[in-house]
């Protein structure tokens, strides 16, 4: 049984996650989170919020937008066109191939944007066959990974489930920007469900058809792409595999952020900054730095909207390196497309430090005179003049004394040229975007895998205490005397402190410790006979099985400090060894 199987089994047994709709045989690509899984995922989300939003709250804000969007949104975003692949199936061996890459490889030509029929024609004309068995290829079909639905009753209004939360940030960009009183640069974050109709998801929690994305769309001025926070991470070393090394089959290299930027491995400082944040965030979930690296996606591997993408890879036992986050430089692709498709201006006004004074020619039209002379034709003449460059008009007036419009000669009787000063206080730009984007369920799995350990045949989930779904377990050593009463009292007090905590008096104390270890409870409090004498209890550390003894009142004071990482376990009391040992 490999680690993945052990975790899946533990998850099912203890209520962390399992396959959805089991009673109907299950459906691939969907999972339920159980009581513990829900807590774990929420703790990961909370940590993410703190790490990416709270710490940057002066310029990163969180929003929520719908899961369903009308067709137009995905026409604009390019997903209807690009989130699909033309696929051909070999008639004899039934293997499937991407039609476009097959042709591009064989004929060494670019067939981007061609229709399925055109691709099929090329395949027929060039007698392209199955590269595996040399069999004949069938019809070119399209796979679109968007889930489709209908908005409203009996409606023609087609909608789609979003494949990423990002579009919500783009479509509402202007509102958020204004609500934040034109804060710029600005990051908009969202945690939400997305859906992708994967062709064949078969890696449990790793490839889901519906999952949670945590992402930031960070909007900045492409003319000022510097990140003021980059100094904080400039000297940080990261493991990175740039595209140019990847194509040579080389391994990731360990370099500083500064070097990565200098060598243009990473093309934007903000992108680099968020990559380091992500490196640390995943480390906080229990993944060591040497089990992570950033891999650049090659042009043909990238999504349609990105000019550079790094995937943050984490090593897992079963599948090797898997992607837990993507870091894409999306440029102004999305905003520009939404401007074009919606007709709304999504640009941002950037004031200059000092207004620029520009001298400019202006044509003054004496409309009244012009109308009197040319009657009906006047309107047309005026609009033509207005759409002509003032410089051109001035030049013609100077040389010829008139300009010719609509077959009429217009001289200085009707128009005159003057020079005006124009004060330009800034310019409008379409922001560029970098996007760090995490898959929450994958992080849940990765966190579990790195927390999983065994000791003396027992499972111990060494979850970071921030992530542990249950923080404290309270046990009476035996069900005798007043021990259960005191333990229950402690349990009630801890609940009032907003901790997740549980009380257990069943079976032997050893069994109860084992049960608690298995779901990663960091601290177990045991009420024993000594408690009756001096009001002290033992606290047991999940990872070392060591115990300390502390007065009950001290427990309430010190536990919060422990969970805030202000003190470590051994500061919770004085070392304690049980007598029987």
* Site residues (CB under 7 A) for RNA, limited to 429-458: 456-458
Which of these segments, 68-76, 264-272, 311-319, 488-496, binds RNA (CB under 7 A)? 311-319
193-to-31, 441, 576 alpha-carbon distances in Å: 13, 11, 47
* 10 vs 429, beta carbon nearer RNA: 10
Cα(433)–Cα(332) distance, integer angstroms: 6
Cα(441)–Cα(210) distance, integer angstroms: 10
19 forms part of the interface with RNA (CB under 7 A): yes
Q: For the CB of residue 48, give the shortest distance to RNA in the complex, in Å.
A: 18
* 34 vs 390, beta carbon nearer RNA: 34
One residue of 74, 83, 445, 452 binding RNA per CB under 7 A: 83
Which of these segments, 86-94, 280-288, 339-347, 559-567, binds RNA (CB under 7 A)? 86-94
Q: Residue 473's closest CA among 506, 450, 446?
A: 506
* 169 vs 381, beta carbon nearer RNA: 169
254 forms part of the interface with RNA (CB under 7 A): no
413 forms part of the interface with RNA (CB under 7 A): no
27 forms part of the interface with RNA (CB under 7 A): yes
**What residues form DSSP beta bridges with 404?**
409
Q: For the CB of residue 134, give the shortest distance to RNA in the complex, in Å.
A: 14
CB 243 within 8 A of CB 298: yes
Cα(531)–Cα(300) distance, integer angstroms: 67
109 forms part of the interface with RNA (CB under 7 A): no
One residue of 71, 72, 98, 495 binding RNA per CB under 7 A: 98
Cα(511)–Cα(39) distance, integer angstroms: 23
One residue of 63, 80, 361, 478 binding RNA per CB under 7 A: 478
Which of these segments, 93-101, 109-117, 268-276, 399-407, binds RNA (CB under 7 A)? 93-101
Phi, psi of 391 (to 5 degrees): -60, -40
251 forms part of the interface with RNA (CB under 7 A): no
Q: For the CB of residue 60, give the shortest distance to RNA in the complex, in Å.
A: 22
Q: Residue 206's closest CA among 286, 324, 312?
A: 324
Q: How many residues bind RNA (CB under 7 A)?
A: 74
113 forms part of the interface with RNA (CB under 7 A): no
Which of these segments, 34-42, 316-324, 347-355, 393-401, binds RNA (CB under 7 A)? 316-324
376 forms part of the interface with RNA (CB under 7 A): no
Which of these segments, 97-105, 266-274, 396-404, 415-423, binds RNA (CB under 7 A)? 97-105
Q: For the CB of residue 84, give the shortest distance to RNA in the complex, in Å.
A: 9
CB 186 within 8 A of CB 176: yes
One residue of 62, 323, 332, 489 binding RNA per CB under 7 A: 323
Region 325-354 residues binding RNA, contact defined as CB under 7 A: 326
One residue of 165, 203, 292, 312 binding RNA per CB under 7 A: 203
* 176 vs 446, beta carbon nearer RNA: 446
String marking each residue 125-144 x if it binds RNA according to CB under 7 A: -------x----------x-
Region 500-519 residues binding RNA, contact defined as CB under 7 A: 506-511, 513-515, 517-518
Region 518-577 residues binding RNA, contact defined as CB under 7 A: 518, 526, 528-529, 538, 540, 545-547
Which of these segments, 192-200, 221-229, 286-294, 368-376, binds RNA (CB under 7 A)? 192-200
Q: Residue 348's closest CA among 475, 254, 220?
A: 220
Phi, psi of 240 (to 5 degrees): -145, 140
Cα(219)–Cα(332) distance, integer angstroms: 9
Q: For the CB of residue 238, give the shortest distance to RNA in the complex, in Å.
A: 18
* 168 vs 185, beta carbon nearer RNA: 168
200 forms part of the interface with RNA (CB under 7 A): yes
293 three-class SS: strand
Alpha helices, H only, 466-508: 483-496
At 535, list the tokens: 């009001």
CB 236 within 8 A of CB 289: no
Region 32-61 residues binding RNA, contact defined as CB under 7 A: none
Length of the chain: 581
One residue of 16, 29, 60, 69 binding RNA per CB under 7 A: 29
Residues contacting residue 409 through CB under 8 Å, at least 6 positions apart:
402, 403
Q: For the CB of residue 463, give the shortest distance to RNA in the complex, in Å.
A: 15
H helix or E strand, kind and range, residue 253: strand 253-256
No. of helices (H) and no. of strands (E), the chain: 20, 29
Cα(120)–Cα(94) distance, integer angstroms: 17
At 171, list the tokens: 């479509």
81 forms part of the interface with RNA (CB under 7 A): no
128-to-95, 119, 142 alpha-carbon distances in Å: 14, 11, 18
Q: Residue 444's closest CA among 2, 24, 10, 1?
A: 10
What is the rounded (10 degree) CA torsion for 193, 199, 203, 208?
Answer: 10
Q: Residue 347's closest CA among 222, 193, 187, 471?
A: 222
Q: For the CB of residue 219, give the shortest distance to RNA in the complex, in Å.
A: 21
371 forms part of the interface with RNA (CB under 7 A): no
């Amino acid at each position: 049984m490999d680690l993945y199987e052990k975790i899946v089994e533990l998850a099912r047994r203890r209520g962390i996650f399992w396959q959805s709709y089991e009673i109907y045989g299950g459906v691939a690509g969907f999972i339920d989170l159980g009581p513990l899984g829900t807590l774990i995922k929420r703790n990961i989300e909370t940590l993410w919020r703190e790490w990416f939003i709270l710490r940057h709250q002066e310029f990163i804000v969180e929003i929520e937008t719908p899961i369903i969007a009308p067709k137009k949104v995905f026409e604009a975003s390019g997903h209807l066109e690009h989130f699909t692949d033309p696929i051909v199936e070999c008639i004899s061996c039934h293997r499937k191939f991407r039609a476009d890459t097959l042709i591009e490889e064989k004929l060494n030509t670019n067939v981007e944007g061609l229709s399925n029929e055109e691709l099929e024609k090329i395949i027929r004309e060039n007698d392209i066959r199955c590269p595996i068995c040399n069999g004949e290829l069938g019809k070119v079909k399209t796979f679109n990974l968007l889930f489709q639905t209908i908005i409203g009753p009996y409606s023609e209004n087609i909608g789609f489930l979003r494949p990423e939360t990002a579009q919500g940030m783009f479509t509402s960009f202007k509102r958020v920007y204004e609500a934040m009183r034109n804060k710029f640069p600005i990051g908009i974050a969202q945690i939400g469900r997305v859906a992708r109709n994967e062709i064949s998801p078969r890696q449990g929690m790793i490839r889901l058809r519906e999952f949670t994305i945590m992402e930031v769309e960070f909007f900045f001025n492409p003319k000022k792409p510097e990140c003021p926070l980059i100094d904080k991470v400039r000297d940080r070393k990261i493991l990175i595999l740039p595209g140019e090394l990847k194509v040579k089959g080389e391994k990731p290299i360990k370099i500083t952020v500064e070097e990565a930027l200098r060598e243009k491995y990473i093309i934007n400082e903000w992108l680099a900054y968020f990559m380091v944040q992500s490196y640390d965030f995943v480390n906080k979930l229990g993944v060591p730095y040497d089990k992570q690296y950033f891999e650049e996606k090659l042009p043909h591997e990238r999504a349609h909207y990105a000019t550079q993408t790094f995937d943050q890879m984490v090593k897992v036992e079963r599948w090797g390196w898997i992607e837990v986050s993507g870091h894409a430089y999306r440029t102004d692709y999305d905003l520009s497309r939404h401007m074009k498709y919606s007709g709304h201006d999504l640009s941002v006004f950037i004031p200059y430090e000092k207004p620029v004074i520009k001298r400019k020619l202006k044509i003054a039209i004496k409309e009244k005179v012009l109308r009197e002379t040319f009657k009906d034709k006047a309107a047309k003449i005026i609009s033509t003049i207005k759409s002509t460059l003032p410089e051109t008009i001035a030049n013609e007036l100077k040389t010829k004394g008139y300009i010719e419009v609509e077959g009429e000669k217009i001289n200085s009787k009707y128009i005159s040229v003057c020079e005006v000063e124009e004060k330009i206080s800034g310019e409008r730009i379409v922001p560029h975007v970098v996007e760090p984007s995490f898959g929450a369920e994958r992080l849940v799995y990765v966190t579990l895998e790195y927390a999983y350990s065994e000791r003396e045949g027992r499972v111990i989930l060494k979850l970071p205490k921030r992530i542990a779904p249950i923080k404290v377990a309270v046990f009476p050593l035996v069900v005798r005397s007043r021990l259960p009463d005191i333990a229950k009292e402690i349990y009630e007090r801890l609940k009032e402190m907003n901790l997740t905590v549980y009380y257990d008096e069943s079976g032997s104390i050893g069994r109860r410790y084992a049960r608690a270890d298995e779901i990663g409870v960091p601290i177990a409090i045991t009420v024993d006979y000594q408690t009756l004498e001096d009001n002290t209890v033992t606290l047991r550390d999940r990872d070392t099985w060591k115990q300390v003894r502390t007065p009950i009142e001290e427990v309430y004071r010190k536990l919060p400090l422990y969970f805030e990482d202000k003190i470590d376990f051994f500061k919770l009391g004085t070392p304690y060894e049980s007598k029987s040992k």
